[in-house]
Copies of this chain bind each other. A is one copy, B any other.
Amino acid sequence: MESKKTTIIDIAKQLNVSKSTVSRALSDHHSIGLRTKMRVQQLAKELNYEPDQTAIFFKQRKTYLIGVILPTLSNTFFASIVSGIEDVGYNKNYTLLLGQSRDEEDREKKIVETMKDHRVDGILISMAKSTYNYEHFEMLKKNNIPTVFFDRIPQMQDIHFIASKLESGMLEAVNLLVKRGNKLIALINGPEKMPACKERYEAYIKALKQNKIKAEEKYVVHTDITVEGNNAAMKELLDLPKRPTAVIAFNDYVAMDVIHYAKRHKVKINKDITFISFANEAICNYMDHPPLASIEQFPYQQGAKAAETLLELLEQGSDENQKNFRNILLPSQLVVKVTK
């Protein structure tokens, strides 16, 4: 068990050459003679030499690390995104530094600091719910650390971001519902503050308009995404004088709850009321009464695309990074779960 790692200097001493010679010999520099090259390389192998990357990183100012900051991994959506990021990074020899903000602004800020301290080459962020102050994002800009936001985008000018465009999926959903004869289409949306909520609402309104259905406020209800909140939202809809014939739920989990609730209240799923939701999680495939369809947002692809975008930024000069800001919106897509 060799006690210490062998360095370039150890090799230099044993061979009575200078350490620069060793360095160049190992990197196959032309100004080193074949004989010495061989000797160095062989001894390096014998001594099990491995360059100290921290020294190299230190010298080259490049770490091959990319920071990933997101609310939590305990969420299939984000976990898939990270999975995509890692795959892309792996192929280009980048390693992920991971931090969960837990949706807390302070923790997010501290993680950003840590990432900067570790001199990551770039950062991918999905913002915490509670983040209202953007100074840590501004700081990244000032420090010229390439940053790409994904999914949860801050309201800032001149940033790179990538997100899923719900519009396309929502339109498909409404089209399908209308084609099946639905005219009273309700929306169970999430917490009003969330950008994702606002986006769904706008897409919903737009899709209705395209189908020449006039939107009615009472058919849009909100849930805080707890079981109780979900049930309450469904109750609200069921209590309406004219029940909706279709419900678009904030996501699959909400859909599961409200479907469960509706069943308990004698609603025939996808007959009396047709359900459609967001995310297209695997769970849907195992439900006895899954929603008719779910709008897939392709988290893995989103993560992969975000990583690719960041890596492109890294390859080009830092001047370019502050110019052409990439604002990428990936289309979502309706996936029909129940065919019959």
Mark A residues whose CB is within 8 Å of B.
1-2, 5, 50-55, 57-58, 63, 65, 68, 72-76, 79-80, 82-83, 86-87, 90, 93, 95-100, 107, 111, 114-119, 142-144, 253, 256-257, 260, 283, 286-289, 300
Are B2 and A142 within 8 A (Cβ)?
A: yes
Residues of B with C-beta under 8 A to A107: 90
Contact yes or no, A97 B95, CB < 8 A:
yes
Question: Besides A54-B63, A57-B58, A256-B286, 18 other CB < 8 A contacts?
Answer: A1-B144, A5-B143, A50-B117, A52-B58, A55-B58, A73-B79, A74-B79, A79-B79, A90-B99, A90-B107, A90-B111, A95-B97, A95-B99, A95-B115, A97-B98, A98-B98, A253-B286, A283-B286
User: Nearest Cβ in chain B — how far from A10, in angstroms?
Assistant: 16
Interface residue from B83, B256, B260 paired with A73 (Cβ < 8 Å): B83
A-B contact pairs, 6 of them (CB 8 A): A76-B76, A90-B100, A93-B114, A95-B115, A96-B99, A260-B286
**Cα distance A90–B164 when bound, in Å?**
29
Shortest CB–CB separation between residue A201 and chain B, in angstroms?
Answer: 25
Task: Flag if B90 contacts A80 (CB, 8 Å).
Answer: no
Chain B residues with CB below 8 A from A79, complex form: 73-76, 79
Q: Are A96 and B98 touching (Cβ within 8 A)?
A: yes
Option from B50, B73, B257 in Cβ contact (under 8 Å) with A86: B73
Q: For residue A54, which residues in chain B have a CB less than 8 angstroms away from its CB?
A: 54, 57-58, 63, 118-119
Query: A279 → chain B, closest Cβ, in Å?
Result: 13
Instruction: Tell me the smallest distance from the CB of A50 to a CB of chain B, in Å.
Output: 8
A289 close to B286 (CB less than 8 A): no
> In the complex, what residues of B have CB within 8 A of residue A80's CB?
73-74
Contact of A287 among B58, B86, B287 (CB under 8 A): B287
A37 to B116 Cα, complex, angstroms: 26
Asked if residues B99 and A86 are in contact (CB atoms below 8 Å), the reply is: yes
Chain B, residue nearest A144 (CB): B1
- Residues in B neighbouring A97, C-beta threshold 8 A: 65, 95-98
CB distance from A134 to the nearest CB of B (A): 17
Instruction: Evaluate whether A95 and B118 lie within 8 angstroms (CB atoms) in the complex, with A2-B142, A58-B55, A286-B256 already known.
Output: yes
Give the CA-CA distance A114 to B51 in the complex, in Å. 12
Report B-chain residues with C-beta under 8 Å of the C-beta of A286: 253, 256-257, 260, 283, 287
Find out whether the CB atom of A300 lies under 8 angstroms from the CB atom of B142: no
A52 touches B119 (CB 8 A): yes
Contacting residues, chain B, for A287 (C-beta < 8 A): 286-288
Complex: A324 Cα to B300 Cα, angstroms: 41
Select which of B1, B74, B117 is within 8 A of A142 by beta carbon. B1
Q: How far is the CA of A144 from the CA of B80 in the complex (A)?
A: 33
Q: Which 9 A-B pairs have the closest CB atoms?
A: A79-B79, A288-B288, A53-B117, A256-B286, A96-B98, A73-B83, A58-B58, A54-B58, A74-B83
- Chain B residues with Cβ below 8 Å from A90 are 99-100, 107, 111
A65 CB contact (under 8 Å) in B82, B118, B257: B118
Which residues in B have their C-beta under 8 angstroms from that of A83?
72-74, 100
Are B53 and A118 neighbours in the complex by a CB distance under 8 Å? yes
> Cα distance A107–B2 when bound, in Å?
26
